[in-house]
Structure 1
Amino acid sequence: MYVAAQYSIAGATAKGIAASIERGVAEGGFGPGDALPPVRRLADELGVSPGTVATAYRELRQRGVVVTRGRGGTVVAQAPSVASRRPPRVPEGLVDLAGGHPDPAFLPELRPPALVRPTYGSHRASPRLGRLEGLTRDWFARDGVPSEHVTFAHGALDCIARLLSTELRPGDAVAVEDPGFHHLLDLVPALGLRMVPVAVDTEGLDPEALRTALRSGVRAVVCSPRGQSPTGAFFTRSRRDDLVAVVREFPEVLVVEDDHNADIAGVTAHSLAAAGLERWAQVRTVSKHLGIDLRWAGLACDPATLARHDGRLLMTSGWVSHVLQETAAGLLADGEVRRLVAAGEAAYAARRTALIGALAQYGIRAVGASGLNVWVPVRDESAVVNGLRTRGWWVAAGARFRIASAPAVRITTAALEAEAAQGLAADFAAVLGETQATYGG
């Protein structure tokens, strides 16, 4: 029985109806277990087609806001959530090539400041250390990104979550890369937003696919200019220019670039953020080249985006720890650390190239032009992952990175030496041969 009559659902489109219901859940108009009206009844009440309501309910199910209980109808979930794309635990005894992590040999030791003097009150009035702010401006300016307006966050995902939650409302659409960063593909629906997949090739986002997504009503775009996870794609100059031409047709859309591999991508930056867009932001994190425990990121953006981000930050955590800021500043300014990072960037490029070349010797196509990973298209992800597991390798099935794109596996090459790459390629070819013998084709 439909019991949530105290909340009036509104909307003339599937997106509007879904957003209305989600607001009802957030504001308490619907409680866990409350039944939504049957599709045809709600369609009659709103003057829309049953298909429109059915689409709204389907979107809510995909985000975990509601569940369907057969004849019991559609009800609000007990604990609205989304299915996680987090990786499974690495089995013991296997070489871990699934995590996307850097080689520890190229990470500096973290050196927090030896002395931190107590201060009176909070740092809300001066949340950013001047020394680190200057280093951050230089970091972005090095690659042509406007650095007049910069601020800090607790890592890339923390920053992107704040940007999207201040800019968009539940039910709004976000264009994401497909295949794309699995944590982002978890984050967007967790914020109550709809994902619109945009195809990626070796040069990043496909311009026509992006135009189609923007025409559908997308309010924000999240992409990587280089070191794209999982494919290693990067924007060439010509691709960047094509994408800029598309985005300028939709000046109200916020473009967020995640340049998380800025210092170890191995390629020149041709970013959208450097193109003079009206609404833009670029976030850079230090996790991949200075250490995963250094939860600090820099953000450069337009003035309106900066104000919204920092306004929300002040209402929540307030600021990034000054101890953390001092640590980051010390590392960014250290010449020895910069040389270590540069050595890592060269090694990562050589290791990617080594595996791609080794696989090519067996007629296996792989891509990975920048960053820490190689993406290998396959027909059967499970067969490849399990086959390599029996040979001592643990690689990532592509399913957790994909929405509508073709199957593949991701291999992190950051710590994979050239000799080991030859062995992995031989095992990969053997697994593919076994799969073809078993399933044909």
Structure 2
Amino acid sequence: MATQYAIEGTTAKGIAASVERGVAEGELAPGDALPPVRRLADDLGVSPGTVATAYKELRGRGLVVTRGRGGTVVAEAPSVASRRPPRMPEGLRDLASGLPDPAFLPVLHPPGDVAPVYGSHRAAPRLPALEELTRGWFRRDGVPAERVTFAHGALDCVARILSVELRPGDAVAVEDPGFHHLLDLVPALGLRRVPVAVDGEGITPDAVRAALRAGVRAIVFSPRAQCPTGASLTPARRDELGALFQEFPEVLVIEDEYLAELDAPPSPSVSALRPARWAQVRTVSKRLGVDLRWAGVTGDEVTLARHDGRMLMTSGWVSHVLQETVVRLFSDPEVARLVARGEAAYAERRRALIGALGARGIHAVGAGGLNAWVPVRDESAVVNGLRTHGWWVAAGARFRIDAPPAVRITASTLLPESAERLAGDFARVLGDAQATYGG
């Protein structure tokens, strides 16, 4: 039990806030046990019902979980403490970031002069030129785009849609392994995660079917270059999933197309089959700039109306200055050529890494995207072992729920000759681990 942090408060909300503060500040770590209800009630001079109400609120928000006789403990990924990676030690080669190579990102040129306007942009939140470009962007891949809207990035969009469509306690199907920030976002919204397995063709029909029959209200997945495995839907897999979603028309289908950039190859999209409730969100941060917090969204009329209704009550609109910057990037042929060179380089570097590992008997996957996903028996042994050789890779625990252990290696800046050296060091680390821990 964690004894170094003293929970305070005389009301249920005050007690819950004290626990949340302890988690956010790192005083209460994942797995730390909270005091039993009656003991904490005696310590604080309140009724057991007050403490029980506080614990119930914390459970509903995903900060703690109850383990029967094991009591109430801080969740493994509490909603106030996202799965941030550990700080990289100095002197190491960063292969854990998941970020693109800056050499293939264009220089951003925001509009020079932005004249002040009277009032707000709420009545006209989207630039017509960017609306038209966004419609063409979706339609290029066969995705219906009668209606489009904008958001401040994929997670901003997904969070807003889920918050207006679902209620605390509802279940959301997510990829496992999957995007770590999404895995944290769902419980932060008070929702339950239902893991869905991923293979080389994306989310698996059997896992999706089980999740749908279990009563999930929404499913969020990437149809292309899935993070962290790099899997993309095949046409056959897309059709099989589409048929499943037709059987459950009340389930909201959200596609996160984070790599659907200017010259990326088309991807089979379930959205093209028009599920009853659906949305697809596309972002530009991986190919046009990590600071471009903009996303284009299309979907059914009800979903988009609810998204925009909530946005109007909060941020109101995406900055027109940012929108104008995106318009210029989308309209610049030199930027398109730079993006295409980046796509080719990323594919070459990813294949070189996977090939170098494979030549040493190390299985890795990564058909698309910026990373390779390498199954291992002991994530810590591999991460720490590669650290001694000067490499910094990401432990897979941040990206998975029930999936087997693995490490993620970002290949975006790894030249083929460096990939050979990394693969050799990886093989040595595995050999050392086997000698230490046995077969």
Shared fold (TM-score greater than 0.5)? yes
CA distance in 2, matches of 1:297, 1:215: 31
CA distance in 1, matches of 2:313, 2:194: 30
Which residue of structure 2 lines up, in the alignment, with residue 411 of structure 1?
A: 409
Structure 1 residues 309 and 29: CA distance shift in structure 2, 3 A: farther
Kindly state the Cα deviation for residue 275 of structure 1 after the two structures are TM-superposed: 1.1
CA distance in 2, matches of 1:336, 1:120: 36
Equivalent AA in structure 2 for residue 192 of structure 1:
G
1:206 pairs with 204, 207, 213, which one?
204
Equivalent AA in structure 1 for residue 155 of structure 2:
L
Which residue of structure 1 lines up, in the alignment, with residue 19 of structure 2?
A: none
Equivalent AA in structure 1 for residue 129 of structure 2:
R
Equivalent AA in structure 2 for residue 376 of structure 1:
V
* Runs (5+) with no aligned partner, structure 1: 1-27, 39-52
Normalised by the length of structure 2, the TM-score is 0.85
2:380 pairs with 382, 385, 388, which one?
382
Identity of paired residues, percent?
68
Kindly state the Cα deviation for residue 242 of structure 1 after the two structures are TM-superposed: 1.0
1:114 aligns with 2:112: yes
Let me know the Cα RMSD of the aligned residues: 2.6
Which residue of structure 1 lines up, in the alignment, with residue 317 of structure 2?
A: 319
CA distance in 2, matches of 1:312, 1:343: 39
Contact 2:138 / 2:144 at 8 angstroms: preserved in 1?
A: yes
Kindly state the Cα deviation for residue 263 of structure 1 after the two structures are TM-superposed: 2.3
* Runs (5+) with no aligned partner, structure 2: 1-9, 17-34, 39-51
List aligned pairs for 1:358-377, cutoff 5 A: 358-377=356-375
CA distance in 2, matches of 1:163, 1:425: 42
Query: Can you list the C-alpha shifts for 1:87-114, whole angstroms capped at 9, x where unaligned?
Result: 1111111110001000000000010001
Which residue of structure 2 lines up, in the alignment, with residue 100 of structure 1?
A: 98
Kindly state the Cα deviation for residue 86 of structure 1 after the two structures are TM-superposed: 1.2
CA distance in 2, matches of 1:76, 1:364: 36
1:243 aligns with 2:241: yes
1:269 pairs with 267, 270, 291, which one?
267
Contact 1:230 / 1:410 at 8 angstroms: preserved in 2?
A: yes
Which residue of structure 1 lines up, in the alignment, with residue 232 of structure 2?
A: 234
Contact 1:266 / 1:371 at 8 angstroms: preserved in 2?
A: no
Equivalent AA in structure 2 for residue 100 of structure 1:
G
Structure 1 residues 76 and 270: CA distance shift in structure 2, 3 A: closer
Question: Secondary structure of 2:196's match?
Answer: strand
Question: Secondary structure of 2:158's match?
Answer: helix
1:332 pairs with 327, 330, 338, which one?
330
Contact 1:61 / 1:67 at 8 angstroms: preserved in 2?
A: no
Contact 2:61 / 2:190 at 8 angstroms: preserved in 1?
A: no
Which residue of structure 2 lines up, in the alignment, with residue 171 of structure 1?
A: 169
Number of residues of Structure 1 aligned to a counterpart in Structure 2: 395
CA distance in 2, matches of 1:439, 1:381: 13
Kindly state the Cα deviation for residue 248 of structure 1 after the two structures are TM-superposed: 1.1
Equivalent AA in structure 2 for residue 268 of structure 1:
P
Contact 1:219 / 1:253 at 8 angstroms: preserved in 2?
A: yes
Question: Secondary structure of 1:308's match?
Answer: helix
1:31 pairs with 6, 13, 28, which one?
13
Which 4+ residue blocks in structure 1 deviate beyond 6 angstroms?
34-38, 56-59, 66-71
1:347 aligns with 2:345: yes
CA distance in 1, matches of 2:280, 2:399: 22
CA distance in 2, matches of 1:75, 1:106: 45
Contact 1:266 / 1:370 at 8 angstroms: preserved in 2?
A: no
Question: Secondary structure of 1:248's match?
Answer: helix
Kindly state the Cα deviation for residue 31 of structure 1 after the two structures are TM-superposed: 2.2
CA distance in 1, matches of 2:189, 2:411: 32
Contact 2:144 / 2:298 at 8 angstroms: preserved in 1?
A: yes
Kindly state the Cα deviation for residue 84 of structure 1 after the two structures are TM-superposed: 2.4
